[in-house]
Structure 1
Amino acid sequence: MPSMPLRVAVVCSSNQNRSMEAHYILRKRGFKVRSFGTATCVKLPSSKPNKPNVYEFRTPYEQIYNDLLKKDKDFYTQNGILHMLERNKRIKPAPERFQNCNALFDLILTCEERVYDQVVEELNFREQETSQLVHVINIDIPDNYEEATLGAFLICDLCQCIQLMDDVDTELGDLLQKFEERSGRAFLHTACFY
């Protein structure tokens, strides 16, 4: 078993729902975790069809919360976005973009295949400096509150199993196959280097 806790990153598109729910659960379980998005900006639904609310990454969750509160408190309360933002601002100050982070992780978990592709592309684009291995795993999680919660517990179970492994590099494939069979979800996995 590794003596140090896994350094884990959880990544979705806007660093709002899925990655933040997993961040919350993993942190409660004692993991060293950060969360990110990969999009060019943060998008949240609005009351106007096809006109999302758009924010720059690093816009504080508090500021986003207050903006939506002013725009339509009832709408954003009813659809759960204000509740989600309340949770988010208790976890960290603002959404972060994966492409702007130079921290090293042992494990990066993505919540949809498009995000997985963006993370792998970013890691492969960077100049390798340390040759440290990082495992990138995708678990497709639909972007709604219920699935985000279920996905967060699945991610946490996976991280706990990986944390207990003697040799992650050789045992991970078998573990992912067991998780696929148990959860009914497909997992993507690749190894990248820093």
Structure 2
Amino acid sequence: MSSQLDLRVAVVCSNNQNRSMEAHSILSKRGFRVQSFGTGSHVKLPGPTFDKPNIYDFKTTYEEMYNDLVKKDKTLYTQNGILHMLDRNRRLKPKPEKFQHCEETFDVILTCEEKVYDQVVEYLSVREQQTYQPVHVINVDIQDNYEEAIIGAFLICDLCQRLSRAKDMENEMEELLQGLEEKSGRDFLHTVCFY
């Protein structure tokens, strides 16, 4: 049986802002070894209108994004929750990280939407295998809004707690996922890739 500290977890959404960071926050408070990532080409945050998002490079720190949006329209970005989100993010780590640049290995990679799941699986499938250590890639569809990010983060935490209590995660995975699907009413995608 593994413990929460033994389970190496990655949470991935497209921008490493809302869904992955909410799950990162909750999992780290519960004692998990967790990192979070995005798969997008740039980091996009809502702008003054739907067709005018704020676009940043992955090298831009959460602090820089926060200060930029305060300058642009502090009232708007306070009301829509973006400044609150960036404040949480900057307390967890300096800047968003791109999954495709990560050299570390994980036991479980949780994605927050099917497109991101496909990108993670494709990336792990095309790179050269070195250790052949298995990694479970699991998708939990979470809408990209504040309320859904919180609900999704608790669902991800529930799954990670179940996995950390499993006596044999490899053989119990399908059963654990099925149990959580029935409890949550959500479908999970699951595949095994190798490092």
TM-score by length of 2: 0.98
SS at match of 1:152: helix
Q: 1:49 Cα deviation (Å)?
A: 3.3
| Alignment gaps of 5+ in structure 1 | none
Q: 1:48 Cα deviation (Å)?
A: 3.1
Matched, 1:129 2:152: no
1:144, 1:124 → 2: CA distance? 30
Give the aligned partner of residue 46 of structure 1: 47
- For structure 1, which segment, 33-42 or 3-12, has the greater mean C-alpha deviation from structure 2 after superposition? 3-12
Could you say what the CA RMSD is over the residues aligned between the two structures, in angstroms? 0.8
Give the aligned partner of residue 178 of structure 2: 177
1:170, 1:83 → 2: CA distance? 41
Q: 1:166 Cα deviation (Å)?
A: 1.1
1:102, 1:71 → 2: CA distance? 35
1:146, 1:84 → 2: CA distance? 12
2:63, 2:132 → 1: CA distance? 38
One-letter amino acid matched to 1:50: D
> How far does the alpha carbon of each residue in 1:121-145 deviate from its partner, in whole angstroms, 9 at most, with x for none?
0000110000000000000000000
1:104, 1:58 → 2: CA distance? 22
TM-score by length of 1: 0.98
| Alignment gaps of 5+ in structure 2 | none
Give the aligned partner of residue 189 of structure 1: 190
Give the aligned partner of residue 2 of structure 2: 2
- Aligned residue-pair number: 194
Give the aligned partner of residue 79 of structure 1: 80
One-letter amino acid matched to 2:144: D
Q: 1:58 Cα deviation (Å)?
A: 2.4
One-letter amino acid matched to 2:122: E
1:113, 1:53 → 2: CA distance? 23
2:144, 2:59 → 1: CA distance? 21
Runs of 4+ displaced beyond 3 Å: none
SS at match of 2:70: helix
